[in-house]
Structure 1
Amino acid sequence: MLDTGVAADAVRDSPQRPRPALRAVLVGLVLVVVPLALIVPLLGLGPDGGDSPASAAPASAADPFARLLVALPVVLAACYLAGRLARRAGQPEVIGEIVAGVLLGPSLLGLLWPAGFAWLFPPAVVTAVNTLAQLGLIFFMYLVGTEMNLDSVRRRGLVAATVSQVNLALPALCGIALALGMYPSFGEGVGFVPFGLFLAVAMSVTAFPVLARILADRGLTETPLGALALTCAAIGDVVAWCVLTVVTALARNGDPSAVIVTIALTLAFVAAMVFAVRPLLARLLSGLTPAATLPILLGGVMLSALATNEIGIHPIFGAFLFGVIAPRALPSVTEASHRMQSVTVTLLLPLFFVYTGLHTRFGLIGTDARRWAWCALIVAVAVLSKWGGTAVAARLTGTDWRESLSLGALMNCRGLTELVVLNIGLQLGVISPTVFSMLVIMTLVSTIATGPGLSLVARLRRAPA
């Protein structure tokens, strides 16, 4: 008992030790709060930095990265909603996405709300959008190349070759005829040869990816009409890209000898890709997982695009050719391409549509009746030459006339591929912003007319003879 009492008295008489939680609070006050409290007076002791660049910048200066993080969700939401509306209207989603890009540009948003347009798309953001859009464009062209079925092209024989060449030749001829009339007013310092050849290509392009989507939506992919349409579009696009290569070389190198060198280097590059890179790539990717294959494909796309850019033609040609030679029989390549497609189609391509819309200024046409007359003539020539030329060629090779008209309607679809071509022409300075806007209108009208044209021919098919 004595010991217990003494111990109790000792506890009462000794000072109370702080608990662990209280100790942590005290340490925090001493080692964190006190130093933070001393920061403000110490900063006040420093010299005045009023003349430094940082302090000279206005406090409201926009952060380009922050603005980009605002613009991207707006772009994605607009393209998604417009795509859904287009789908409900019986059009491919890409039509809505193209329209959304135009509406976000100066033609509508910039017209109705100039301050909002300038805040959402300042020059730094437009530059970033362009970089991402061009990156998405080369990935998209790789995916287009992977969809090219060269075996199907070879199997379709004389009918596909004949129809596809007429499908190119007549619109190209009409494009050059248009160039003769437009050049004095819209040439704006570019030579007639690149200007005329570019309009020839713009008139003859068919959007292979959009065409494939339309055929799938209507259940026509496996039909003879669908197979013939895809084959003709594949042949036509390959020829159109070749002609556009010449146009690019002419625009970048006015000297004929330089153009010849560029074309020769392009042919050497194609040969190297087909005969050297293709088998090497097949051996390299054999047995790899999709996770290991994807970085190799991404690097290959970018290096191929760089090669054609250094040759003197557009980077998309290298990306497209890399897609053509990619070993699609390997499951890992197919899965890696699907992964690339998800990011490209969801994020990067909408930026391409918006970048196109930022350069589409319908106000440049304005109220000038003469310019609108030229615009209407471009649309009429593009639709009639493509639709009519294809239908006549198919009919003369033995195809039923209703199927020939359906094939003409399908070949008239220009869509995204046409926008790619138009942006190349604008970047090269071959066409002016005014002509660019006219050709965007032609692209929208001709692509939107594809679905209704097919429906009209289908009704004619069901009608009694």
Structure 2
Amino acid sequence: MASASNQAGVFGGSNPSEYNASDPIVLWIIQLVIIIVFCRILYYPLSFIRQPKVIAEVIGGVLLGPSVLGRIPNFNQTIFPAASIPGLTLTANIGLVFFLFLVGLELDLSLMAKNLKIAGSVAVAGMVLPFGCGFAIAYGLYHNFHEADEAGIQDRISFGLYGLFVGVALAITAFPVLARILSELKLLGTTVGTIVLSAGVGNDVAGWILLALTVALVNSSSGIVALWVLLVAVGWVVFLMVLVRPALRWLVRRTGSFENGPTELVMISIFLLVMISAFMTDIIGVHPIFGGFVAGLVVPHEKGFAVKITEKIEDIISLFFLPLYFTLSGLKTNLGLLDDGQTWAYTIAIIVIAMATKIIGSSVAARLSGLLWRESLAVGTLMSCKGLVELIVLNVGLQAGILSQRVFTMFVVMALICTFITTPATMSVYPASYQRKVAAWRRGDIDWSDEVQSIRRVSSDTIYPAAPTRLTILLSRVDSALVAFLDLLIPRSEKECMLVHAVDIRELTDRTSSRMRISAEEYQDLDSSVHSFMSIAPVWRSAIVNGDVAIVPEVDFPAAVNEHLDNAELVIAPYKSSDYHSHRIVNSALQNSCNLAILVPNDAKISIKHVVVLYAGSSDDVLLTHILTKFVFHGGNVTSTIIVLNEVETVPEFGSYATVKKWDHQESITDIITTESPDLVVVGHNSIIGMAKTDRSSIATTDLETKSILGELGHLVARWGNSSLVIFRAA
């Protein structure tokens, strides 16, 4: 009868919130929905102060646990009954294994190798000092809380193992959260960001090794057993690195997955590798998460393969599994256990030691390696971040019986506060204004005592005036048409000077794969556009050229574009309709007040000899007249045809090589341009809108507001023959 009732569901009188061991999915779904929705609601306000999602997930668990909502009568018994927790834990731990696989996948040991000296010193100093102080405070924790809470702790835990674990917990740095904070603060690719990521890799690897050692020693009944555990664990890692890694690389190459993305066979192989590795490290006596981590290190990184793997699985891990795990951490956290002065004194001491020792150790090491003091403090502050990894370590300690629930709660409070403080503390010691000053100083644009440039010294015998023409190029690609256009603009005479700043602004989403694509290890070779542009720069002897890559969060993209437009006489933004990145750049530039030239290139044009100018007398035409007469038409190297679109009082003098024609509206603009066969068509933004109303044969639609004009550029180029197109928009 009960079985029939269950089959009938709620209509048969069954209660969906009642746990049923034979059919646990109903309550599991209720738990899942509550956790995910609750955490997302909490994350919304926290995102405005740039806090990582793990803060919301742990706080959500604390609120759902015995500290807050658990005090409501029957809340935990109804929503999180004790019998249902093992199923929830199993799901969360599967997700955790794959998350550690992603962490291993994201780590590239060559990153630390490229910055070994400074990153190594920061990583070592940032671990030794916290580890030593952690071991010291462990003495008080062990003798004041171990005996009081020994009912919840395995009595074979010695002080040596306890101190080893506490030292590791205070010394470790949360690499995944660290990368996210760097992206939020626009520090990826900077000197500080590169050093922090490089040191974070070394810190992470060393931390996991020490944690594996601690767990192995705790799970061993004798010294000889612990030795066997460590030897077999090392043997498994060597087996994966020496035999499995080359075999996996061979399979990936054989199936064409490097070029075309992972095939189904490759994905199955990697999934099995993760689970088998987790199984092996668990039965060896370490922990299944170490198996997932080592499996991530095995996957090849060539040709972006690791990124492609990450893209396939990251969403379900970060959006589905991880909130469960960290909410469970919050459920195990009972703030009610922090109920006396001694407990709070130790909690505060743990927080101070965790922050101060990391900042002091890492900052001093960075300063001794040649960084400025503020840069060094920023490195130290960032290295003190705890986040995801710290909570995983604490849960391992709780599960292994090293920590009691009270000490676990003390350390969770420390992890939350350290992670929460990291972003605002970094912004205070290393503000954006200081970053810009350091960047300008290192480029040689200013003396350290200056706020603005007085002279620009390129070499010992060359001094340029204080206010040369400034040109900013928003790079998305480098092609022959862009180079040909710049050849027109950059002065031939070495007596003149033009400052050319090329910047490639890249968006960074909150996905792991996005961070991997734009990692510090690949930063210098991030995008061939900057390097291609800089390789061409020596031909422009009268120009001072510098290139830069700006990596910014997705929501800050328009503001980041605006930052690079200051003090530029002209901003050039290449555009290609099929390139979403260039579309975003031009759209953002159009939203800002600047003198803008949108270049729609024809890749076949390697030089510009004949230019057609569509002139209507608007403010945009005043700008293009100024630019063209100043840089292009004064040398006699280019012929031009000026087509006057409407009645204007005077037509400016474009030079003796210019032919002026008045448009009689009898012939379409398209036909005129086709007859002229120019290499470049120059037109004002307002003129484009005007032609849309009068010459519909040239434009596909008549609705050409600021944003919709981008949709018409492809039509214009297609209709106007074999020409590149430049649209000028005045500020």
Question: TM-score per shorter chain, which class?
Answer: 0.7 to 0.9
Paired position in structure 2 for 1:257: 224
> Using a 3 Å threshold, how does the CA distance of structure 1 residues 265 and 78 change in structure 2: closer, same or farther?
same
Deviations 1:218-240 (A, max 9, x none): 22111111010001111011111
Q: 1:334 to 1:397 in 2, by over 3 A?
A: closer
Query: 1:62 maps to what in 2?
Result: 19
Corresponding position of 2:273? 300
Identity of counterpart residues, as a percentage?
A: 35
Deviation of 1:164 (Å):
0.5
Change (3 A) 1:357 1:114: farther
Question: Mean alpha-carbon deviation: is it higher for 69-78 or for 326-335?
Answer: 326-335
1:460 is displaced (CA, Å) by 10
- What does residue range 388-427 of structure 1 map to in structure 2 within 5 Å? 388-427=360-399
Q: Deviations over 1:101-152 (max 9, x none)?
A: 22121111102x2322221111232111100110010100000011112111
Answer yes or no: is 1:269 the counterpart of 2:226.
Answer: no
CA distance in 2, matches of 1:291, 1:342: 19
Check if 1:214 corresponds to 2:181. Answer: yes
How far does residue 459 in structure 1 lie from its aligned partner after superposition? Answer: 4.4
Segments of structure 1 that go 5 or more residues without pairing to the other structure are 1-48
2:102 aligned residue: 143
Give, as a single letter, the amino acid of the residue that structure 2 aligns with 1:84: Y
Partner Cα distance (2:306, 2:350) in 1 = 41
Distance in 2 of aligned mates of 1:331 and 1:446: 33
- Deviations along 1:354-408, one digit per CA (max 9) or x if unpaired, are 1111111111112x11111111111111111111111112112222111000001
CA distance in 1, matches of 2:145, 2:348: 15
Q: Residues 85-96 of structure 1: matches in 2 within 5 Å?
A: 85-96=45-56
Q: Is structure 2 residue 105 aligned with structure 1 residue 132?
A: no
Q: CA deviation at 1:317?
A: 1.0
Alignment deviations for residues 159-201 of structure 1 (CA, whole Å, 9 cap, x no partner): 1111110100000000000011111122233211111000000
Which one of the candidate residues 381, 399, 407 is aligned to 1:435?
A: 407
Alpha-carbon distance in 2 for matches of 1:126, 1:284: 40
Query: Aligned residue for 1:23?
Result: none
Paired residues of 2:252 and 2:262 also in contact (CA < 8 A) = no
Does the CA-based 8 Å contact 2:333-2:409 persist in structure 1?
yes
Within 5 Å, give how 1:28-427 maps onto structure 2. Answer: 62-63=19-20, 64-111=24-71, 113-187=72-146, 188=150, 189=155, 190-286=157-253, 287-288=256-257, 290-292=262-264, 293-329=266-302, 333-366=306-339, 368-427=340-399
Contact kept? 2:54, 2:326, Cα under 8 Å: no
Query: Quick one: distance in 2 between partners of 1:382 and 1:330?
Result: 39
Which secondary structure does the structure 2 equivalent of 1:180 belong to? Answer: helix
- Is the Cα contact below 8 Å between 1:402 and 1:460 reproduced in 2? no
Aligned mates of 2:19, 2:33 — CA distance in 1: 18
Cα displacement (A) at 1:84: 2.0
User: Aligned-pair distance for 1:291?
Assistant: 4.9
Deviation at 1:327, TM superposition (A): 1.3
| Runs of 4+ more than 6 Å apart | none
Question: What letter is aligned with 1:252?
Answer: N
8 Å CA contact retained: 2:134, 2:170:
yes
Contact 1:205–1:237 (8 Å) recurs in 2: yes
AA matched with 2:364: V
Say which structure, 1 or 2, has more relative contact order (CA 8 Å, 6+ apart).
Answer: 1
Amino acid at match of 1:196: G
Q: Give the letter aligned to residue 272 of structure 2.
A: G
Give how far 1:309 is off.
0.8
User: Contact (CA 8 Å) 1:291, 1:336: kept in 2 or not?
Assistant: no
Structure 1, residues 332-358: CA drift from partner, whole Å, max 9, x if none? 653232121111001000000111111
Q: Displacement, 1:271?
A: 1.1
Greater Cα offset, 407-416 or 255-264: 255-264
Runs of 5+ unmatched residues, structure 2: 7-12, 438-447, 450-731
Instruction: Give, as a single letter, the amino acid of the residue that structure 1 aligns with 2:367.
Output: R
Q: How far apart, in 1, do the equivalents of 2:77 and 2:56 lie?
A: 23
Structure number with higher helix proportion = 1
CA contact (8 A) 1:207 1:416 kept: yes
Kept after mapping to 1: 8 A contact 2:262/2:305: yes
Kindly indicate which of the two structures has a greater share of residues assigned to strand.
2
Distance 1:59 1:94, change over 3 A: closer
One-letter amino acid of the structure 1 residue matched with residue 395 of structure 2:
N
Structure 1 residue 97: Cα displacement: 2.0
Q: By how many angstroms is 1:294 displaced? A: 2.4
Task: Kindly indicate whether the alpha-carbon contact (under 8 Å) linking 1:194 and 1:247 is maintained by their aligned counterparts in 2.
Answer: yes
Q: Secondary structure at the match of 1:449?
A: helix
Q: Distance in 1 between matches of 2:176 and 2:432?
A: 27
Q: In structure 2, do the counterparts of structure 1 residues 62 and 183 end up closer, same or farther at CA, with 3 Å as the change threshold?
A: closer
Count matched residues: 409
Rounded to whole Å, the distance in 1 between the matches of 2:313 and 2:67 is: 32
Q: Give the drift of 1:330.
A: 5.2
Give yes or no for contact 1:102–1:353 (8 Å, CA) kept in 2: no
User: 1:26-81: CA deviations, max 9, x gaps?
Assistant: xxxxxxxxxxxxxxxxxxxxxxx99xxx9xxx976533321111111111101212
Q: What is the TM-score normalised by the length of structure 1?
A: 0.84
Moved more, 238-247 or 121-130: 121-130
Look up the match of 1:16: none
CA RMSD of aligned residues (A): 2.0
How far off is 1:434 after superposition?
0.5
